[in-house]
Structure 1
């Protein structure tokens, strides 16, 4: 089968490799669609922290936002999985430790991440081996585009949940990338008054097209009581701004990752009695994201700018958008092309 292999910083090629076999408790999936994520870009450029700690190493096969069809079963897997359209959890805990048993497998000390860490091969390939315990079935109403948006959707939904808002309350989201826009869509579907803060007017164009009238730059941001703030940006100065803007005794949610350490004075948290929540991984939000896509309350497809073939992935990781790309922040890959 064909698979994308990262061989070193800024070195990537499509190779013919042996297809995976389903071990006990696993399935093999024929991959339909894969999203290219910022984590994939950092693995390609060599900037990913895991590459410096040894948790990830080259050669590496990326891709963790995916969907496909189960085509082979390992020992112990129920036959009902064969032929099902599925997506899956990126985070694979050991399944035995206290964290895993308590439902916190995404922070397991032995965590392996599909397409990211501990040698677990990713989905930028024609086929993918996945533990059956990580699978989530996809209804017919969730097409391949939405199926490959479940993983980022789960992250965004967890951020909205963590904000702790009721319908009618006001949310400000910092950042208009994939996670920021997804969080805005999930929040609006819950009846939350949703606003976004972008770098400039160009960054806000898609948000306004999606119907978000409250789309602001920093100079234009109105002085309103923000009952929660989600930082979905990669700017090191915005975590502190989030605390400055949020109402006292309310919540700030951090899901964005800056390339350099953020500056946040914890005294500001204390004196405003603000609760700060960090979000790592979409595990607990995957089922909710699928349900929202399936019932039509959230349509995230406009976030996908283009779908390219596997051969074009290296260029996309290097920052070259397809010539026919639309305004969305997300590029998808169809490994069958």
Structure 2
């Protein structure tokens, strides 16, 4: 089968590889759509921390935001999964350690992450093998575009839950990328007054089309009382900014990751009596995201700027958008093209 393989910093191409077989407890999925994520870009540039920490190495097959149809099942898997449209969890815990048994498989020390960590091949390919325990079925009302946005949506939904919003709360989202915009969309369904801050004209122009209460360029954030702040950026200076902006007694959610260490002054954290929440992965937010997409409470599809084939992935990872790309922040891949 065809798959996009990254072989080193700035190097990647479509290769013919052996198709996966469904092992015990696994299924093989015919991949319909894959999202290209900032994490994928960091692997392509060589900046991804896992490369330097020993959790990942080249060659690597990327792709952790995906949906498709179950084509085959392995031993001990219910054959009723055959032919079902699905998406799945990225975080695959060992299943037997203390963290996994307590429901924290996403922070298991021995976890694999599809397309990211532990050598687990990702979805930028025609087919993907995945444990049946990671699957989430997609209803017909969630099409392939929305299905491949469930994983970033799960991160966003968990961020909104971490912000503990109540109707009328004022939320500031720092970073209008895919996750930041989905945070804003989910928060609006909770009755929050939502404001978004960005740096690029393109991202700000698109955010303004989404009908939020305010969209502001960096450096022009209004002096309003922010009940909660979500950092969905990759700027190492933003975590400290979020702490400066949030109201005393408020909540900060950190879901964005920078390529270099960021710093906050914990004295400010304590003296403002602020609660800070870190978000890793979508696991606990996947089912809720599917439900909200299915009932049209949130429609994520306008965030997709273009859908390309495998042969165009290298250009996308290098920062080149297709000529016909729309204004949204996300690029999808259809491996069947």
Same fold (TM over 0.5): yes
Gaps of 5+ in 2: none
Whether 1:326 and 2:330 are equivalent positions in the alignment is: no
In structure 1, distance between residues paired with 2:113 and 2:76 = 22
TM-score, L = length of structure 1: 0.98
Matches for 1:1-337 after TM superposition, within 5 Å: 1-337=1-337
- SS of the aligned residue for 1:5 comes to strand
What is the Cα deviation at residue 201 of structure 1? 4.4
Q: Residue 334 of structure 1: CA displacement?
A: 0.1
SS of the counterpart of 1:313?
helix
Q: CA deviation at 1:22?
A: 0.1
Q: What is the alpha-carbon distance in structure 2 between the residues aligned to residue 294 and residue 195 of structure 1? A: 25
Task: Work out the number of aligned pairs and report it.
Answer: 337
3-state DSSP of counterpart to 2:233 = coil
CA offsets 1:98-129 (integer angstroms, 9 cap, x no match): 10011100000101000011110000000000
Between the aligned partners of 2:15 and 2:220, the Cα distance in structure 1 is 49
Distance 1:127 1:220 in 2: 46
Detail structure 1 runs of 4+ shifted over 4 Å in the superposition: none
CA distance in 2, matches of 1:218, 1:32: 37
Q: Secondary structure at the match of 2:243?
A: helix
Tell me by how many angstroms 1:44 deviates.
Answer: 1.0
Q: Which region of structure 1 is more displaced relative to structure 2, 302-311 or 49-58?
A: 49-58
CA distance in structure 2 between the partners assigned to 1:15 and 1:155 by the alignment: 31
Q: CA deviation at 1:46?
A: 1.0
Tell me, yes or no, if the aligned pair for 2:49 and 2:259 is still in contact at 8 Å: no
- CA deviation vs aligned residue, 1:207-234 (integer Å, no higher than 9, x gap): 1101114111244322211110000011
Quote the Cα distance in structure 2 between the aligned partners of 1:241 and 1:5.
37
CA distance in 1, matches of 2:163, 2:278: 11
Q: How big is the alpha-carbon RMSD for the aligned residues of Structure 1 and Structure 2?
A: 0.9
Whole-angstrom CA distance in 2 between matches of 1:318 and 1:220: 30
Give the drift of 1:54: 1.6
Which range is displaced more, 120-129 or 183-192?
183-192
Question: Normalising to structure 2: TM-score of the pair?
Answer: 0.98
Greater CA drift, 104-113 or 4-13: 4-13
Q: Which whole-Å deviations, capped at 9, do the CAs of 1:262-291 have from their partners, x for residues lacking one?
A: 121111101101011110101000011101
Query: What CA distance in whole angstroms lies between the structure 2 residues aligned with 1:231 and 1:219?
Result: 15
